[in-house]
Structure 1
Amino acid sequence: MNKSVLVVVTVGLVLLLNMDACYGQLKIGFYKEKCDYEDVESIVNKVVNESFASDHSIVAALLRMQFHDCFVTGCDASLLLDGDSSEKKAIANLNVRGFELIDKAKTALEQACPGIVSCSDIIIMATRDAVALSGGSTARYEVKTGRRDGLTSEQANFDLPGPQISVSNTIELFVSKGLSDTDMIVLLGSHTVGIAHCNFFQNRLWNFGGTGSADPSMDPALVETLKSQCPESANNEGVVVNLDQNPSSSNVVDNSFYQQIRSNRGILEIDQKLALDPSTTDAVATMANDGDTFLKLFGKSMVKMGGIGVLTGTDGQIRLKCSSANWSNFE
């Protein structure tokens, strides 16, 4: 065999072995027949259905939870851990919610099959189920499971993009996590559900870039509407608005978000930049015009995000509880 070919083959085998070591245990249906006669995914689905029935906003909450967990130290459920120095206490995570749903699912699973299902997998499965409930059958995607939970949790704000980040820097951040520019465009489409607090966009209404005026890229009618909701001199803590300004779909996982930002009705600065930047405007137009394509790509990108920094084998643990002030309870 040619020496250069041998080197290529050897390197390829090493890469494959390393990939198998990291991801070999992740697969669709990992928990099949591991929980006696119980169906793990059905147990999680039941909990999500119960929560969704009384609170449709749980979809946005779980999407945010998965994103914030996976982007810091990988999809290891470290975000769930309590503690004064934990990720949960980081400024970027103070408004993350949905922890009670994850704990409820974990309790049900521990009753069915103790010590089998990881908290990190529960986040991934629950988010998938919530998206399907909100977006319909075409929004459902299959997820791989087999993750284990992280051993530590430390505050980290630097891996979570702020609302004023540029498109190019957002792409760089996503690429650093093993995702593509397309994944970035598609995953920001999760803003088709959810809310934003006034302080995340108020600068666009009153004094954009120190001009003393509103952001010229925002629809003037929307500016006036938002000014009435977020007065300049008032304490707007706790005041929120929908990220998707289409009232009929603000809690539905669909492509309405892209239609809104193409009409200059993006709430967050990065959302509006997505529609205007030459590197992303064509993709935004495609998503706006084809809802089926968006849902198909969204599922694929969610699965890819769910593969960031996963722990398998002896690298992690299966927590007995998903959150606790005493982390030794998880070992």
Structure 2
Amino acid sequence: MRKNAGFNGLILCFLLPLLSCSRADLKLGFYYQSCPNAEKIVFDYVEKHIPHAPTLAAPLLRMHFHDCFGCDGSVLINSTVKNRAEKAAVPNLTLRGFDFIDEIKGLVEEECPGVVSCADILALTARDAVAVIGGPYWNVPTGRRDGLISNMVEALNNIPAPTFNLSTLQKSFASKGLDAHDLVLLSGAHTIGIGHCQFFSNRLYNFTGKLDEDPSLDPLYAANLKKYKCKTPTDTTIVEMDPGSFRTFDLGYYKLLLKRRGIFQSDAALTTTGATKAKIEQLVYGLLEVFFNEFGRSMEKLGRVEVKTGEEGEIRRHCAVVN
């Protein structure tokens, strides 16, 4: 699969809207001359370490997603006395894997100082981590530059919240050039994801302010969550989004949605209209390979959102600090 990446990437550029491939100077093998071993260094590190920590694949993928509501590595920057960075935004407080990215960046810097961006390293690492645990593999055109600004409020305003309904989700995605099809496909990453009780406990304990449950959530599943996981409204326990196969990139998440067992309101929202629900049903009753291919295409599209290229931004020497 890897050796055909260049050819497949060219095909994708013809299949995707013209804007997606012409809006930025991203290309497969961008570092072929300037740092020919860059992608191999990333993959080798991921292949060595992720099998010993397979649950890290989901956080790395989530980090890439949060960064890609403007793919410029800004989610990696630390806060300072004068600036509260994206890491300080509520959606990013539960992100992890920053040390993993820093380790890879250090190895790449040893090979080619000041050449490969943190934004590209994050995009490549997320893809490789998913592939190593048996998930889909997608093309990652490179050439991103690192942003100079990381702002907590901007992240809070841009990253879709787990409380969003379908209309709000679609508007959020559309603002980044992503459609309802991408929304359904990218949500499939939740098959290896986890959630924290505090982000959906209102659905269990106080949905409308009357100490009631969300009627769109399967009552048996809600009872199970309250008994074993989210035992109080303020519980911070971790819950697998695809219980039983949360370490396997499969169709389990979509099957749970059809059973009304998505833990976030944003998950349940995907079944509230005919179009998005029909797409979920198509995936559930289709081949896993089809899901992998479609997920990969949406991930490549996501990876092009508001990238910086050419002379924009910089190539950060340390991912957590602007040069």
Say whether residues 1:297 and 2:294 are aligned partners: yes
Tell me, yes or no, if the aligned pair for 1:149 and 1:316 is still in contact at 8 Å: yes
Secondary structure of 1:222's match?
helix
- Write out aligned runs for 1:310-329 (5 A): 310-324=307-321, 327=322
Match 2:273 to one of 250, 273, 277: 277
Kept after mapping to 1: 8 A contact 2:20/2:304: no
Structure number with bigger Rg: 1
Range with greater deviation from structure 2 (171-180 or 83-92): 83-92
Give 1:75's aligned residue. Answer: 71
Alignment of structure 1 residues 1-331 onto 2, 5 Å: 20=22, 22-24=23-25, 26-35=26-35, 39-71=37-69, 74-84=70-80, 85-136=84-135, 139-155=136-152, 156=154, 157-228=156-227, 229-232=229-232, 235-237=234-236, 239-245=237-243, 247=244, 249-290=245-286, 291-324=288-321, 327=322, 330=323
CA distance in 2, matches of 1:134, 1:260: 21
**1:37-81 deviations in Å (ceiling 9; x for gaps):** x5211100122123312211111101111111111xx11001111
Q: TM-score, normalised by structure 1?
A: 0.86
**Structure 1 position 121, deviation (Å):** 0.2
CA contact (8 A) 2:133 2:248 kept: yes
Aligned residues: percent identity? 40
Name the residue aligned to 2:8: none
**Does structure 1 conserve the Cα–Cα contact (< 8 Å) formed by 2:105 and 2:319?**
yes
Q: Note the C-alpha offset of 1:194.
A: 1.4
Q: Which is worse superposed, 296-305 or 161-170?
A: 161-170
Is the contact between residue 47 and residue 101 of structure 1 (CA under 8 Å) also seen in structure 2?
Answer: no
CA distance in 2 between counterparts of 1:264 and 1:211 reads: 21
The one-letter code of the counterpart of 1:273 is A
- Give the 4+ runs in structure 1 shifted more than 4 A: 16-20
After superposition, give the CA deviation of every residue in 1:236-275 in whole Å (9 maximum; x if it has no partner): 23x1100112x1x212222211011111111111111212
- How many Å apart are 1:211 and its aligned residue? 4.0
Q: Deviations over 1:181-229 (max 9, x none)?
A: 1001111111111111111111111222234332222222211110021
Q: Residues 169, 17 of structure 1: CA spacing in aligned structure 2 closer, same or farther, 3 A cutoff?
A: closer
Question: Quick check: 1:86–1:154 contact (8 Å CA) kept in 2?
Answer: yes
Higher mean displacement: 205-214 or 125-134: 205-214
What RMSD over aligned residues (CA atoms) do the two structures have, in Å?
1.8
Contiguous gaps of at least 5 residues in structure 2 = 1-17
Q: Is the 8 A contact 1:51 1:101 kept in 2?
A: no
The question of whether the paired residues in 1 share the 8 Å contact of 2:283 and 2:291 is answered with yes
Tell me which amino acid in the other structure corresponds to 1:132.
A
Tell me the residue number matched to 1:3: none
Segments of 5+ residues of structure 1 without an aligned counterpart are 1-15
Deviation, structure 1 residue 276: 3.2
Matched residue of 1:65: which SS? helix
Please, what TM-score do these two structures have when normalized by structure 2? 0.88
Answer yes or no: is the 8 Å Cα contact 1:23–1:312 preserved in 2: yes
Q: Tell me the amino acid that sits aligned with residue 29 of structure 2.
A: G
